[in-house]
Structure 1
Amino acid sequence: MIQATARRSSFHAQGARVFYRGNPVYTQAAPLRIGLRLWGIDEYEVLRWGERLPTLGERIVWDIVHDPDSDDAGMVIHLVRSSAATLGSFCWNCVGANRAMYRATRSSSLNVAVFSGDPRRLPTPSYGLWAMAGRRSEAETVHEVVRTLVFPRMMDTR
């Protein structure tokens, strides 16, 4: 279940447990905060599927972030949905996310963009790591990005 935290527009799963090779994952380390920055995606849509995002036994906390300079997140995933096709090859959401990714090169947190739409509409040059959703939903792509980039790191910090 997603419940609001003290931060505005934030959520995390309460009481979630994830089993890894048959054993619960326990640690004394502070949880990793992963912020979701939305570009062309409705916040309520993300809140619906966000409660199913992995928490690794409360070692990962998910938040929707609005502040572009939010440095308290260990990782930011920019969810970018292509703008309306009436704009032609221009993608306003892509431009905003690309600027944020460029600014993030100077931050200490990992930034990844998950793009849904026609890849020909991506800005050139694109800064940082962009994952293409393709036929997958944004939720499936976010889960795959976290499984690939975060899970191995979290298993090393037991």
Structure 2
Amino acid sequence: MVYYSRTGRTRDVASQIARELKCDIEEIRDTQNRTGIIGFLKSGYQAARGKDTVLEPYERDPSDYDLVIVGTPVWAGNPSVPVGTYLRENASKIKNAAFFCTYGGSGAEGTFRRMSETIGKEPIQTVAITEREIKENTCDCKIEPFVRDVEAAFRTEE
């Protein structure tokens, strides 16, 4: 699993999914500073325009895995700039994918669609989790079925 998290919410969800699936996990690290209100505004602007960024080197090669789960916050109705960059850089290495996103208000469906278009294949499963569900600690009701469905779908893929 790979994920990017600006605020820590996507990291929390990624950690929970990785624990339940007992899978490797890697944080996508951006070289740009995206903290504070300026970072927030710059990030949304870049995401809306499909910009790339420079990422720190990865520890893991996605081609070593039969399934890559990719997690992103939704920025301006798009995957985060670091995740978009990661997907463009690794599209040909991703054999099968599952996606999850965290978001405040809307944009999950478009985010998943753009992620799918970037890698040129449909994900075996997706789940969108709101900030409210994370804050109220009610996202288990979405994470557990996602984990179960990923395991079931991936078994049929093999």
Normalised by the length of structure 1, the TM-score is: 0.46
| Greater radius of gyration (CA) | 1
Q: Which has the higher strand share?
A: 1
Higher helix share goes to which structure?
Answer: 2
TM-score, normalised with respect to structure 2: 0.46
